[in-house]
Every structure is written in C-alpha cells, then in structure tokens.
Amino acid sequence: MPPALPGARPDFIQDIAMTNGNSEHVTYRVKHFDPDRDQAPRWQEYRIASSAGMTVLEGLWQLKETQAPGLAWRASCRMGVCGSCGMWINGKARLACNTQIAELESSFVTVAPLPNFDIVRDLVPDLTPMFDAHTVVLPFLIRSDRAEQESPTVEYHQSREELERYLQFSYCIKCGCCMAACPTFATDALYSGPMPLTQAQRYNSDSRDDGFGQRKTVLAGTAGPWRCHYAGECSRVCPKGVDPAKAIQLMKRELVLDFLRLRRHSRPTDLVEKPEGIKRRPDIPEAPARTV
Amino acid sequence: MRDQSLWTWHVIAGVVILVFLGLHMGVMHLDALLGLFNPEGGHPIDWGNVLARMKSGFFTVTYVVLLGAALFHGLYGLRNIVYELGPGAGLRSAVNAVLWIAGLALFAIGSWAAWAASRLATTL
Amino acid sequence: MLDVRGHPNRLGLWGWLGGGRWGTDRYLYTLHRLTGLGLLGYFVLHIIVTSSRAFGQQAWEQAMARVSGPLFLIGEYLVFIAFAFHAINGIRLVLIELGIGVGKPIEPVYPYRTSLDVQRPLAVGAVLLAAVLAVVGGLDFFVWH
C-alpha cells in the first residue's frame, strides 16, 4: 500500500463519500459587497468539492481557504446554537452551519446575506434594527419586587405547566432568519418583527412576570402584532422550532381580550417558601461570591 | 393603542360582514339554488324583487349595518396595506385623513340611498 | 457605536410576491390581500351604482343596463370568486389570529411541528370550501339562469 499523501483523507472517509454518491462538485454563487469599493452588491461563482455531510458553512470555509480569502461572514459555534450564521441560502433564510449542501438538492448553492437588513459587508447583515426592537419590548421579567430581583433570596414558584407556556419561545437564538423571511418586515421598517414580538410574548406568558401593561404601550400600537397576517414564513424558517407565528397569534388573542376587558389578570407568582431548619452538608462548599 | 382597538373592530366587522354579506350573496347569486327573498321570481335584480327588499325594514337596516361594517373593514385593510409599504409620518396621517373622509362620504351616500329607497317603496 | 456603511437590502414589495422560496400560507396571504383590494374597489362602485334604486324603477333599470353584458357578468363572477375566497379564508384567519387552531406552545423537538402544520387542515379545508362555493356560484351565474 503506498504511503498516504500528506493532507489526503483516509481511504475510509473517501469510501463513505463515494457510497453516498456525494463526492461531487457544487457551484457556490456568493453575494459580495465591499463598502469601500462596491457601489452595489455583485455575484461571484466558485466551484468547490463537496462531500457527504458537508454544511454550507464548511463550504464557505473551504472557499475562504482556497479561492476567496477576503470573503466575510459571521459564524461561531457551527452547531446551530449561537445564531451568528443566518444567511439567505437558495431562496430561504437558514443557518449555514445547520444546512447540509446535500439537503439543498441542487448543484448550485446560492448564498446571500439575510435580506431586510443592511449589508455591512459580503454576507454580514446589520442586525441592529432587530436588537433595537428587541430592547423596546422589554425582554426581561418585570416585577414590583425590585430588591428581590436584584439580590434574590429564594426562587420564584413556577409549575411545569406554567413553564411550558413560554418554554418554546425561549429557545430563540436571535439569528434573524424570521425577520428576513417576514413579508411585512420586507417593506415596513417600523414593524417590530417576529423575533421581538415572540420575545415579548415569551415574557408576557411567563407566570413570574407582571409586565403586560408596560409592554402594551408598544404592542398595542402600530409596531405591534397587528402587522402580522399569518404568512407563516417565520415559523417555516425558524431553525430552532420557536414558531414565532404561533407566539404572535397568541399575543393578539391576549391583546384583543384585554381591549374587550375580558383578559384575566393573574398576579405574578410568589416566592417559594424558604425551607427552614435545614443545614448545609459539610461536603458542599459555599456558593462563590457574586461578581455582578 | 390605536391598532389594538382598530384591529379588534376589524375582526368584529369581518364577522358582521360574513353574516350579512353571506346572506346578500345567497340572495343575489345563489338564488337559483336557495330562492331567498325574490318574491317576483326571475332575476334578483329585477325591479319587483328590488322593490320588495326596499319595502322590508330588515333589509334597510341590515344594508346600512353591512355598509358600515364593510367600509370599515375594507378601508382599515387598505390602511394596513399602505402602512406596511413604509410611508413617512406625513403620508401616514394624510392617508388616514383621506380614508376617513372617503369612508364617511361613501357611508353617507349608501345610507341615504337605503333610507330614500325605503321611503320611496312605502309610497309606491 | 460601530460606524457601519450598510447597503440597503430590503426585499420590498418583491417580498410579498416573489424573491424567495415561500410556503403555501404566504401565497394565501398574498391572495387574501389581492382579493381584499379587488372587493374594496368593487364595493365602492357597487355603493354608487345601487344607490340609483332610490330614484325609482327607471333609474334602477338604466343603471343595471349600463353594467350588464358578458364582460360585466364575467367581472361579477370574478368578484364572487374573490368573495368566496376572502370570506372562507377570512374565517380561518379570524380563528388563527385569535390563537385558535394554532396549538399550544410545545417543546420543540426536531423535526419541528409548527403552528403551520397544526392549522394545515383549516387551510386545506378553506381552499376546498372556497372552490366548491366558486363552482356553485359559477353554475348560478352561467348555467341556471
């Protein structure tokens, strides 16, 4: 057996690639935009070798290493957790790390920055408007017991059922795919968008929260869920199954009931009773000092 | 605050329209199947049938209710579409004003017609 | 604050109609808008034309004569189809937008089952029902008269 060339992949990996019929070449069509040189974005095509299981993000890395050293994009965890690599891939907003080239079922991989956001450079969108809208809907627990929130003594009570009322919406990684897919956000810059509204609903439906009235000042207005007409695109593209369209409709129900004075106001849950007469076991160390 | 109330009314108006426009469409376009409120037979827009409905207090009242609900529903829908095209603040208030004026004018024409028609029918 | 010279990249109106690979519900959304606009346009004319009844039989029959003929009949039938779709799809939208038929929040487990899948029977049913209504209306418009 001849000695393996440096850098060559072991035979068995190539075998897997061959048996999957996937050790082919694909053409990447990539949108480029350099603010210092380009007046408008331009498309460029590259051919790269793809193998079984290869993701769109891995293809981009390969491109950068071999053909397009200046190509810019955002990515970090490469496993669908950080939400950095949202891109417009073959006509749909997806995470580049979460999308295998094979699942596109095409010999072309078209990669563009997420639409509805300004292009900073190449595949990097400026997500600032989304995070601004996110801030405006107060995405945190709002309660009257400020002191307890700042320096907690015990936990807030929450049952499993109460948790499930918002858990799905808390899986959001703020990648911006839903904003890129939304037909309203495509034309209306004043619309909050699916992500901020879903997060507002996440806190509105949290049994520990008492901020419905405060968030309503934004949500009842023109930036609120009224701009949603259930095109459903956000839920279709969400890489985490957060289902923003569902959150927005549930939010509309609450706001309509509120307008009709039919919304049941429930007090935010109380603190769990502090257990008494319990001593720390000697083998469990003290909690470290707070750093914030 | 405005859209919370406007949208709720939009939905309520939609349900009202569903009932009365459903009836209207049934009378006008499914007449051969249902044969509702066309005492003279023939086509629902023949004068005899129209006159019979003009005489009826039920039709006069529901026409005005339907007119108002449908104008509100339709014009709020149009306002939604225009607003979602991202106009500036000045254009927004202009659109608002135009839609209110147009809506009220059309409501005035339509309800005057319903009232005048009902008066005419009772004299004939 | 980072000084960013961004290039605008909104999909714009193109995002309502094309510009990507969209799902069924998005086309229903576009169709709902277009039929709504069509119905509103018809309605404005309808208010004015039918107001002629207040001036008696002659005015009414003149107005009706002006809007008769095969072109108007076909136009009216298009309005009827738009009504059928907008009404039936509207029922679906009222239910959904009040949070009925979209399901409760669930723990997302891949492959995700979203509210789109939960309400799918409603969407299919609405389109079928609208189609049936359009066919029955068509019979009344063109065959039974």
Q: Which domains does chain C have, with CATH numbers?
A: 22-142 (1.20.1300.10)
A30-76: pLDDT as tens digits: 999 999 999 999 999 999 999 999 999 999 999 999 999 999 999 99
A234-282: pLDDT as tens digits: 999 999 999 999 999 999 999 999 999 999 888 898 899 888 888 888 8
Dihedral, CA of residue C92, residue C95, residue C97 and residue C102, to nearest 10 = -90
B61-101: pLDDT as tens digits: 999 999 999 999 999 999 999 999 989 999 999 999 999 99
C49-71: pLDDT as tens digits: 999 999 999 999 999 999 999 99
Strand partners, C7: A119
Nearest partner of B11 among C114, A249, A214, judged by Cα: A249
DSSP helix/strand/coil, C142:
helix
Q: Kindly give the pairing relationship between strand A124-125 and strand A119-121.
A: antiparallel
In this prediction, residue C2 carries a pLDDT of: 55
Touching C: which chains, 3+ CB pairs < 8 A? A, B
Does A17 have pLDDT greater than 50? Answer: no
Output the CA angle A61-C2-A84, nearest 5 degrees. Answer: 35
Does A19 have pLDDT greater than 70? Answer: no
Q: Which of residues 53-92 of C touch B (CB under 8 A)?
A: 53-54, 56-57, 60-61, 64, 80, 83, 87, 90-91
Output the CA angle B120-B122-B123, nearest 5 degrees. Answer: 65
Q: Please answer whether residues A186 and C11 qualify as being in contact, where contact means their C-beta atoms are separated by less than 8 angstroms.
A: yes
Q: Which residue of B has its CA nearest to C60?
A: B47
Q: Which residue of A has its CA nearest to C8?
A: A118
**CATH class of residue range B2-123:** mainly alpha
In this prediction, residue B36 carries a pLDDT of: 76
At A120, phi and psi to the nearest 5?
-75, -50
Nearest partner of A203 among A271, A266, A161, A251, judged by Cα: A251
Which residues in chain C touch residue A256, judged by CB atoms under 8 angstroms apart? 98
How far apart CA C1 and CA A142 sit, in angstroms, is: 28
At A217, phi and psi to the nearest 5?
-60, -30
Q: How many CB atoms are closer than 10 A to CB C4?
A: 13
Assess C110–A contact: CB distance below 8 Å, yes or no.
Answer: yes
A67-110: pLDDT as tens digits: 999 999 999 999 999 999 999 999 999 999 999 999 999 999 99
Tokens 């007046």 sit at which residue? A39
What ipTM was estimated for this complex? 0.93
Contacts of A11 (CB under 8 A, 6+ apart): none
Which residues in chain B touch residue A229, judged by CB atoms under 8 angstroms apart? 80
Nearest partner of C65 among C80, C52, C82, C74, judged by Cα: C52
Contact B29 C141 (CB under 8 A): yes
Q: Please answer whether residues A114 and A88 qualify as being in contact, where contact means their C-beta atoms are separated by less than 8 angstroms.
A: yes
In this prediction, residue A1 carries a pLDDT of: 46
DSSP helix/strand/coil, C133:
helix
Assess A191–C contact: CB distance below 8 Å, yes or no.
Answer: no
Q: How many CB atoms are closer than 10 A to CB C49?
A: 14
Dihedral, CA of residue B107, residue B110, residue B111 and residue B116, to nearest 10 = 150
Contact A220 B3 (CB under 8 A): yes
Contact B86 A260 (CB under 8 A): no
Q: Which residue of B has its CA nearest to C136?
A: B30
Q: Which domains does chain A have, with CATH numbers?
A: 11-125 (3.10.20.30), 128-259 (1.10.1060.10)
- Quick one: tokens of A263? 């919304």
Assess B14–C contact: CB distance below 8 Å, yes or no.
Answer: yes
Q: For A92, which of C21, C25, C105 is closest by C-beta distance?
A: C21
Assess A256–B contact: CB distance below 8 Å, yes or no.
Answer: yes
Contact B109 C91 (CB under 8 A): no
The string of DSSP codes covering chain B is -HHHHHHHHHHHHHHHHHHHHHHHHHHHHSHHHH--S-TT-S-TTSHHHHHHHHH-HHHHHHHHHHHHHHHHHHHHHHHHHHHTT---HHHHHHHHHHHHHHHHHHHHHHHHHHHHHHHHHHH-
Q: Where are the domains of chain B?
A: 2-123
